[in-house]
Amino acid sequence: MRAEEPFLVRHADLIFALKTFAASILALVIALAMDLPRPYWAMATVYITSQPLAGATSSKAFFRVMGTLVGATMTVVLVPNLINAPELLCLAIALWVGLCLYLSLLDGTPRSYVFMLAGYTVALIGFPAVSEPGAIFDTAISRVEEICLGIICASLVSTVVFPRSVAPAVGNRVDSWMSDARRLSQVVLLREGTSETRRGRRLKLATDIVEIDTLSTHLAYDRLTDTNAVRGLSEIRLRMLMLLPVIASLEDRLAALGEEALSRQPALKRLLEDLAQWITSDVSARQPAERIRAMIAERQAVLDDSATWERIITTSLLSRLRELVDLSRDCRALSEAIAESRNVSTLDLTFHSEAGAASVRHRDRGLALWSAAGAALAILICCVFWIGTGWPDGASAPMMAAVACSFFAAQDEPARFIRSFGLWSLVSIVVVAIYLFALVPAISHLEVLVFALAPTFLLYGLLIARPATAGTGMALAANTATLLALQTTYNADFASYANSAVAFFVGVVIAELVTRIARGVGAEWVANRLVLSNWKTLAVAAERRGKRDRAEFAGLMLHRLGLLVQRIAFLSESDRRDTDSLVQLRIGLNIIDLRRARYGLAAKTISVIDDMLDELAAACRNYAGVGMPAELLRHVDLALAQAVKDPNESAREDALIGLVGIRRGLFPDAPAYRARVSESVAA
């Protein structure tokens, strides 16, 4: 088996293409044997569902079945009841597709496929069935059977024939991410490299964590993955969410101290060097984490009203160093447990999430609504054209408009992707015409047909296997299989085929034109909305009087950060700087820490802090890209001046660390805090 592994890895794309073609032929043969009305739907479904990783295929298959069932049920409800009012039927289908697309865009996980399928399945079944409404139930049942047959064949072949598990792919990406994070930690602790180098490393880590998160969503559907590994990877993900802002905070605190202050604290410099070595060393050569924690504790000093700004910054730095040690230790322990297939629940972990830190994603309701409205409008325009012209084969136009708008609504510029889809559809139309009217008429045996189809569909499979061409391959394969419309008997007619092909293409063109109007905004507009969403989230965090889970907040902000990194070229200079240094994320985490600390503070201290947070919330809600008001800095310094005098030592230190983080995040270039000046200003 070991000798075969390099071959399987080296030729993974070809193996996937062969597996997918075999599954599609299996689905087609069974559908023909069952005498299903549209056996080619089973073949097309295999290519729509199949993914190189078995878990991704299984998750997509499950959600596709659920969506198809919901869509078929809705078709049976709508078509018979509204067949005598075609205008109302078209409106109902358009609104249903729009609603489902809206829910799909808000979900943003593999589960969103349920909503998307539930929407455009009604268009796929309902519009062609208008001419035979009495058979709608049988048509819907056949459609479900064909889809389920394709899904079963795709899943069976994917999990039985040379299966590729999701877990190793996720595990390798996590190991690589942790290695990069350890290296970045070392660079930051030793103050090596340039700010531009560290910026590039941060952005890469932020992008990678979103990609890992997306890939991890398929783990629950991968039967090849051990449950302990799934649980362990989930626990590591929580710590990854916290590692990146902690490292960014360390870089900020070290910059605030400066080399001159560090030279006055040789013990602190030795601690940083020891920690940098500890972070990157192998497990066998590492000192126990408890010893590193003890070294950090030795440097901690009690903060009081005589504390200087340097001492406060140093205390904040030590606190973040302790968090780095705890998170690094947990990640190492979890990695070992996963490698040994041990139950991670038995591990003694240091970091614990307060509320489970469920996966939180950014949801843009406004953008989802615009996309849904555009899809509904495109369908209605196609219906008006179809009904108004009395075009016999015009049902393909609204059907394809629904599919095209649904597939690409999540993109920044969906019209551009719909146009590409339309161009590749033209290629499919030409390829199918060659098959139907030049090759297939001369074929009388199934074996010969399979041999004739193999080169084309194997090429499509190779395209799907590669991320850069996956969309092109899927469009070619699905459209070719659908337009080829293989049946038990050959009955192709050029005039009928041309009519269907033209209607097919008209639907895509109308979808592009309407989408270009309804979603005329691009990546710059989306990027600015993401930045504003971050500031509003900070305002909500500042306004809350209760506790909030830091990992959950970090998950939301890092998800947005990953989306922003993809569009960073479209941001203004100030917003780009904030994104690079994770400023908004760090401010939010410090707000949450401050909220947690306020429960142990004196009433007067709480009052001053709450006034500052109210001022901060107002500034975030009214943020216009020109920096924060100077009045907010005065409120932060007043809160610092009051917090250093609070009698509760533990809560006082936590509050000061949170306030330092907020001050450094909002006003990195402000003069150093001076307690006496702040008190005189307050007086």
3-state DSSP of 295-342: HHHHHCCCCCCCCCHHHHHHHHHHHHHHHHHHHHHHHHHHHHHHHCCC
pLDDT at residue 242 tops 90: no
At residue 137, the pLDDT reads: 86
Higher-confidence residue of 40 and 196: namely 40
pLDDT at residue 558 tops 80: no
pLDDT at residue 6 tops 80: no
Q: What is the rounded CA–CA span in Å between residue 466 and residue 460?
A: 10
Pick left, alpha or beta for residue 460 (phi over 0 → left; psi -120 to 50 → alpha; otherwise beta).
alpha
Q: What is the rounded CA–CA span in Å between residue 530 and residue 287?
A: 42
The 10s digit of each residue's pLDDT in 197-207 is: 887 888 788 77
Cβ(79)–Cβ(61) below 8 Å: no
Beta carbons within 8 Å of 653's beta carbon, 6+ residues apart: 303, 315, 319
Cβ(424)–Cβ(475) below 8 Å: yes
At residue 459, the pLDDT reads: 95
Q: pLDDT-derived band of residue 651, with 50, 70 and 90 as boundaries?
A: confident
At residue 219, the pLDDT reads: 67
Q: What is the rounded CA–CA span in Å between residue 235 and residue 337?
A: 11
Higher-confidence residue of 300 and 386: namely 386
Amino acid at 655: A
The 10s digit of each residue's pLDDT in 310-368 is: 888 888 889 889 989 998 888 888 888 877 777 877 888 887 765 444 457 788 888 88
Q: 239-243, 472-476, 481-485: lowest mean pLDDT where?
A: 239-243
DSSP annotation of 673 reads P
Q: What is the rounded CA–CA span in Å between residue 530 and residue 557?
A: 10
Beta carbons within 8 Å of 608's beta carbon, 6+ residues apart: 638, 639, 642, 643
- Report helix, strand or coil for 282: coil
At residue 200, the pLDDT reads: 80
Amino acid at 409: A
Q: pLDDT-derived band of residue 683, with 50, 70 and 90 as boundaries?
A: very low
User: How many CB atoms are closer than 10 A to CB 491?
Assistant: 8
At residue 677, the pLDDT reads: 46
- How many percent of the chain have pLDDT more than 90? 17
pLDDT at residue 2 tops 50: no
Q: Taking the CA atoms of 480, 485, 491 and 496 in sequence, report the sign of the dihedral they define.
A: negative
At residue 74, the pLDDT reads: 93
- Report helix, strand or coil for 49: helix
Q: What is the rounded CA–CA span in Å between residue 138 and residue 131?
A: 14
At residue 8, the pLDDT reads: 60
Task: Report in angstroms the alpha-carbon separations of 448 from 25, 382, 451.
Answer: 12, 39, 5
- The listed range with the strongest mean pLDDT (14-28, 202-216, 262-276, 409-423) is 14-28
Beta carbons within 8 Å of 317's beta carbon, 6+ residues apart: 250, 253, 254, 257
pLDDT at residue 306 tops 80: no
Number of H helices and E strands in the chain, helices first, is 27, 0
Residue 281 phi, psi dihedral angles, 5° rounding: -75, 160
pLDDT at residue 182 tops 80: yes
- Report helix, strand or coil for 568: helix
Q: Taking the CA atoms of 461, 467, 470 and 472 in sequence, report the sign of the dihedral they define.
A: negative
Q: pLDDT-derived band of residue 573, with 50, 70 and 90 as boundaries?
A: low
Mean pLDDT of 185-206: 84
Alpha helices in 111-165, H assignment, sequence order? 112-126, 136-160
Q: pLDDT-derived band of residue 457, with 50, 70 and 90 as boundaries?
A: very high
All structural domains of the chain with their residue ranges: 4-164+364-518, 176-346
Task: Report in angstroms the alpha-carbon separations of 553 from 263, 544, 560.
Answer: 36, 13, 11
At residue 381, the pLDDT reads: 93
User: How many CB atoms are closer than 10 A to CB 392?
Assistant: 12
Mean pLDDT of 178-188: 90
Q: 3-7, 42-46, 442-446, 476-480: lowest mean pLDDT where?
A: 3-7
Q: How far apart are the first and last CA of the chain?
A: 78
Residue 650 token pair: 């533990």
Q: pLDDT-derived band of residue 578, with 50, 70 and 90 as boundaries?
A: low
pLDDT at residue 636 tops 70: yes
- Please give the radius of gyration of the chain, using alpha carbons only, rounded to the nearest integer: 30
Q: What is the rounded CA–CA span in Å between residue 526 and residue 564?
A: 9
Q: What is the rounded CA–CA span in Å between residue 220 and residue 230?
A: 7
pTM of the predicted protein model? 0.77
The 10s digit of each residue's pLDDT in 507-554 is: 899 999 998 887 766 677 777 888 888 888 888 888 875 455 666 777
pLDDT at residue 439 tops 80: yes
Residue 40 token pair: 């080619």
Q: pLDDT-derived band of residue 500, with 50, 70 and 90 as boundaries?
A: confident
pLDDT at residue 456 tops 90: yes
Q: What is the rounded CA–CA span in Å between residue 473 and residue 323?
A: 46
At residue 442, the pLDDT reads: 85
- The listed range with the strongest mean pLDDT (156-170, 186-200, 369-383) is 369-383
Nearest one of 284, 268, 279 to 183, comparing CA atoms: 279
Higher-confidence residue of 42 and 215: namely 42
At residue 232, the pLDDT reads: 77
What mean pLDDT value characterizes the chain?
82
Nearest one of 542, 565, 569 to 553, comparing CA atoms: 542
Helices 227-263 and 550-565, axial angle in degrees (round to 10):
80
Higher-confidence residue of 521 and 445: namely 445
Cβ(212)–Cβ(241) below 8 Å: no
The 10s digit of each residue's pLDDT in 583-602 is: 887 888 888 878 877 778 88
| Rounded-to-5 percentages of helix, strand, coil across the chain | 80, 0, 20
- How many percent of the chain have pLDDT more than 70? 87
The 10s digit of each residue's pLDDT in 59-75 is: 777 888 888 899 999 99
